[in-house]
Amino acid sequence: MRIAELSRQSGVPVPTIKYYLREGLLFPGELTSPNQASYGEAHLRRLRLIRALIDLGQVPVARVKEILEGLDSPDLSLHHQIGRAHRAITRTRTMPDQLPTAESAATPDARTLAAQQIEDLLAARGWTVEPDAPALTTLIDTVATLRALDQDHLVAHLDTYAEAVETFTHLEIAAVTQRTTPDQIAESVVIGTILGETLLTSLRLLAQESISAQHWRSGGAGD
Amino acid sequence: MRIAELSRQSGVPVPTIKYYLREGLLFPGELTSPNQASYGEAHLRRLRLIRALIDLGQVPVARVKEILEGLDSPDLSLHHQIGRAHRAITRTRTMPDQLPTAESAATPDARTLAAQQIEDLLAARGWTVEPDAPALTTLIDTVATLRALDQDHLVAHLDTYAEAVETFTHLEIAAVTQRTTPDQIAESVVIGTILGETLLTSLRLLAQESISAQHWRSGGAGD
As a whole number of angstroms, the distance between CA B187 and CA B179 comes to 10
Q: What is the pLDDT of residue B88?
A: 74
Per the CB < 8 A criterion, the answer to whether A179 and A188 are in contact is yes
Of the partner residues A77, A172, A208, the one whose CB lies closest to the CB of residue B154: A172
Q: What is the pLDDT of residue B120?
A: 95
SS (H, E, C) chain A: CCHHHHHHHHCCCHHHHHHHHHHCCCCCCEEEECCEEECCHHHHHHHHHHHHHHHHCCCCHHHHHHHHHHHCCCCCCHHHHHHHHHHHHHHHHCCHHHCCHHHCCCCHHHHHHHHHHHHHHHHHHCCCCCCCCHHHHHHHHHHHHHHHCCCHHHHHCHHHHHHHHHHHHHHHHHHHCCCCCHHHHHHHHHHHHHHHHHHHHHHHHHHHHHHHHHHHHHHHCCC
Q: What is the pLDDT of residue A94?
A: 59
Greater confidence, A184 or B136? B136
Q: Which residue of A has its CA nearest to B150?
A: A188
Q: What is the CA radius of gyration of chain B?
A: 22
Per the CB < 8 A criterion, the answer to whether B118 and B136 are in contact is yes
- Say which residues have a Cβ less than 8 Å from residue B37's Cβ, sequence separation at least 6: B2, B3, B28, B29, B30, B31
As a whole number of angstroms, the distance between CA B222 and CA B96 comes to 40
* B31: helix, strand or coil: strand
Q: Which residue of B has its CA nearest to A137?
A: B202
Evaluate the CA torsion angle A20, A22, A26, A28 in order and state its sign.
Answer: positive
Greater confidence, B138 or A120? A120
What's the complex ipTM? Answer: 0.80
A178-217 residues touching B, CB cutoff 8 A: 178, 182, 185, 188-189, 191-193, 195-217
As a whole number of angstroms, the distance between CA B191 and CA B214 comes to 34
User: Is B32 inside any structural domain?
Assistant: no
Name the pLDDT band for A126 (thresholds 50, 70, 90): very high
Total domain count for chain A?
A: 1
Distance of CA B142 to the CA centre of its chain: 18
As a whole number of angstroms, the distance between CA A177 and CA A162 comes to 22
Q: What is the pLDDT of residue A134?
A: 82
Q: What is the pLDDT of residue A120?
A: 95
Nearest partner of B167 among A172, A174, A197, A159, judged by Cα: A159
Instruction: Show the low-confidence residues of chain B (pLDDT under 70).
Output: 74, 91-106, 180, 217-223
User: Is A218 inside any structural domain?
Assistant: no
As a whole number of angstroms, the distance between CA A104 and CA B218 comes to 40
Shortest Cα distance, chain B CAs vs residue A127, angstroms:
5
Per the CB < 8 A criterion, the answer to whether A199 and B117 are in contact is no
For A156-171, what is each residue's pLDDT tens digit? 889 989 998 898 888 8
For A16-66, what is each residue's pLDDT tens digit? 999 999 998 999 999 999 888 999 998 998 898 888 888 877 788 888 888
Residue A39 identity: Y
Task: Work out the angle at residue A67's Cα, subtended by the Cα atoms of residues A62 and A71, and round it to the nearest 5 degrees.
Answer: 140
User: Is A30 inside any structural domain?
Assistant: no
Contacts of A10 in chain B (CB under 8 A): 105
Residue B38's DSSP bridge partners are B30
Q: Which domain holds residue A81?
A: 40-209
Q: What is the pLDDT of residue A101?
A: 40
Per the CB < 8 A criterion, the answer to whether A220 and B178 are in contact is no
Residue A81 has pLDDT above 70, yes or no: yes
Contacts of B52 in chain A (CB under 8 A): 105, 145, 149
Question: Which H or E run includes B36?
Answer: strand B36-38
As a whole number of angstroms, the distance between CA A81 and CA A86 comes to 8
User: Is B34 inside any structural domain?
Assistant: no
Q: What is the pLDDT of residue B148?
A: 83
Q: What is the pLDDT of residue A26?
A: 93
